[in-house]
Amino acid sequence: TGERPYLCAECGKSFGRSSSLSCHQRIHAAAKPFPCRTCGKAFTQLSSYQSHQRVHTGESPTGECW
């Protein structure tokens, strides 16, 4: 019902799931556990890393590393 009981102590942003809060907290900790083996760019979330991989496989619409 739109409840967001999980609150970030650093910035006050709230989340509906504890797992979402955990992912968000990586931003404040500067933790980037998903590094690209091709170019070294690292990401806080697996989904961002997976999207980035398209740059190296030729699937990216721009073909640029971002």
> What pLDDT digit, counting tens, does each position of 14-38 carry?
999 999 999 899 889 888 999 999 9
pTM of the model: 0.59
66 has pLDDT over 60: no
pLDDT score for 26:
86
Domains of the chain: 1-30 (3.30.160.60), 32-66 (no CATH)
Predicted confidence (pLDDT) at residue 54 exceeds the cutoff of 70: yes
Contact 43, 52 (CB under 8 A): yes
3-state DSSP call for residue 6? strand
Only one residue has tokens 């556990």, namely 33
